Amino acid sequence: MTDDLLWLWIVLGVVLLAGVGSALVAPRLRRRGKGDDGAPTAVDEAPQDTLAPPDVAPVETSPTAPALETPAPVAGRMVRLRDRLARSGSPLGARLLSVLSRTDLTEDDWDELEETLLLADIGAGPAGELLEALRTRVRVEGVREPAAVRELLRSELLNVVDPTMDRTIATTRPVVDGVAKPAVVLVVGVNGTGKTTTVGKLARVLVAEGRTVVLGAADTFRAAAADQLTTWGARVGVETVRSDREGADPAAVAFDAVAKGSRDDVDVVLVDTAGRLQNKAGLMDELGKISRVITREAPLGEVLLVLDATTGQNGMQQAKVFGEVAGVTGIVLTKLDGTAKGGIVVAVQRELGVPVKLVGLGEGPDDLAPFDPEQFVDGLLG
């Protein structure tokens, strides 16, 4: 009886093994050659790697993170602007100096000076003040020496640029109810002036100074703007908060960015916005909502208005609208490398009553400098 049972088990085992073996071998044969009817199967035509056994896991190729860049030091960047202004075709200062150095200045000479100033976009008000001051000093001091004339012009130009204005960017962290919040900087302006680029460059300036930063891509009008900003941030290890939906609520993105900045305990949150609003009421609504929503999470430390220096007086009207609706606290004058008309610095400060704090000097990642009136005037004088 026991022997019979043993044989039964052996026979069952052999049958089972034969079944499993053929089940494994048959598909392999089909893969290698033909189907049952000898015709090539769909599997034959498939690329070889699709036949890998399921227990071989696909290799995860995570995208290689870009190597982090080290932003250039901030000190000395203005020197580059000074040199560029000085080398530009016909520096404002050189023309002013050539007229001022004439003996016995006539009314025609003064008219020529005025015209030169107006052509440099300095604006009628500041031009009048500058000429008045120069007339008085030339009459009283009777300056003739080229070096003395230069010094006289330098000090009067410096006066109209106003070295007393506070040009620091408010990036000191505010403390609310005993908790340190990130300093929030909102960047506004007409589209194409260089807002996104400026936010990216400013992030690099802050990183160069050892600050931690989060970016908010609240320019939801153009999906590419968020991509552009994300790339700027990634290059220096800075995260960007964005919405994947084009046309998403910019205030919601701004809020999320500031909330993330608070959670991550970062020093500064920079928020980029869109500038494509059709009318003043729409602009006021959108920027008003962004500011209100941000301040629920942290105080708004700075509102920077980005202006394109090459648009000269034409950009002033738009600048004024932004100035009225956005509570601007500082100006970023971009593309100063593309104009010899440095006078716009003076005009825009006068029109808006706020200082130029940063200037754009080119398309390079570190072509943004804290504005320095003395270096600027030296550049104008050539």
Ligand X SMILES: Nc1nc2c(ncn2[C@@H]2O[C@H](COP(=O)(O)OP(=O)(O)OP(=O)(O)O)[C@@H](O)[C@H]2O)c(=O)[nH]1
* 334 scored as a contact of ligand X (CB under 6 A): yes
Separation between Cα atoms, residue 343 and residue 366, nearest integer Å: 24
Residues 338-367 that bind ligand X (CB under 6 A): 338, 360-363, 367
Helix-, strand-, coil-residue percentages of the chain, each rounded to 5 = 50, 10, 35
Q: Which is nearer to ligand X, 113 or 376 (CB)?
A: 376
Sheet containing 368-370: give its strands across: 239-241, 213-218, 268-273, 183-188, 300-308, 330-334, 356-360, 368-370
Residue with the shortest CB distance to ligand X:
360
Does the annotation flag 341 for ligand binding? Answer: no
Does the annotation flag 159 for ligand binding? Answer: no
Which of 335, 345, 356, 381: binder of ligand X (CB under 6 A)? 335
In sequence order, what are the residues at sequence separation of 6 or more whose Cβ sits closer than 8 angstroms to the Cβ of residue 116? 92, 95, 96, 99
CB of 191 to ligand X, least distance (A): 3
Long-range contacts of 114-121 (CB under 8 A, 24+ apart): 116/92, 117/92, 117/343, 119/341, 120/92, 120/340, 120/341, 120/342, 120/343, 121/312, 121/313, 121/341, 121/343, 121/344, 121/347
Residues 152-191 that bind ligand X (CB under 6 A): 191
CB of 42 to ligand X, least distance (A): 49
CB of 277 to ligand X, least distance (A): 11
- The closest of 11, 55, 59, 53 to 28, measured between CA atoms, is 53
Q: Which is nearer to ligand X, 256 or 337 (CB)?
A: 337
Rounded (5°) CA angle 91-93-96: 115
Rounded (5°) CA angle 287-315-83: 110
Q: What type of residue is 348? A: V
- The closest of 293, 303, 313 to 122, measured between CA atoms, is 313
Q: Which two tokens stand for residue 335?
A: 């593309």
CB of 311 to ligand X, least distance (A): 12
Q: Which is nearer to ligand X, 183 or 188 (CB)?
A: 188
Task: Give the binding range for ligand X (CB under 6 A) out of 148-156, 193-201, 285-293, 322-330.
Answer: 193-201
Does the annotation flag 274 for ligand binding? Answer: yes
Report yes or no: 105 and 138 within 8 Å, Cβ to Cβ: yes
Does the annotation flag 231 for ligand binding? Answer: no
Does the annotation flag 275 for ligand binding? Answer: yes
CB of 336 to ligand X, least distance (A): 7
Report yes or no: 331 and 348 within 8 Å, Cβ to Cβ: yes
Residues 217-236 that bind ligand X (CB under 6 A): 219, 222, 225
E-only strand ranges, the chain: 175-176, 179-180, 183-188, 213-218, 239-241, 268-273, 300-308, 330-334, 356-360, 368-370
Residues 233-292 that bind ligand X (CB under 6 A): 274-275
Which of 77, 173, 181, 195: binder of ligand X (CB under 6 A)? 195
Q: What is the Rg, in whole angstroms, of the alpha carbon atoms belonging to the chain?
A: 34
Residues 16-75 that bind ligand X (CB under 6 A): none
Which of 88, 116, 171, 197: binder of ligand X (CB under 6 A)? 197
* 379 scored as a contact of ligand X (CB under 6 A): no
CB of 250 to ligand X, least distance (A): 12
* 192 scored as a contact of ligand X (CB under 6 A): yes
CB of 218 to ligand X, least distance (A): 11
Q: Which two tokens stand for residue 332?
A: 């970023």
Separation between Cα atoms, residue 129 and residue 163, nearest integer Å: 16
Which of 193, 220, 240, 311: binder of ligand X (CB under 6 A)? 193
CB of 92 to ligand X, least distance (A): 19
Site for ligand X (CB under 6 A): how many residues? 21
Q: Which is nearer to ligand X, 13 or 192 (CB)?
A: 192
Does the annotation flag 192 for ligand binding? Answer: yes
Q: Which residues are annotated as a binding site for GTP?
A: 189-196, 272-276, 334-337
Give binding residues as ranges: 189-196, 272-276, 334-337
Given the rule CB under 6 A, which residues bind ligand X? 191-197, 219, 222, 225, 274-275, 334-335, 337-338, 360-363, 367
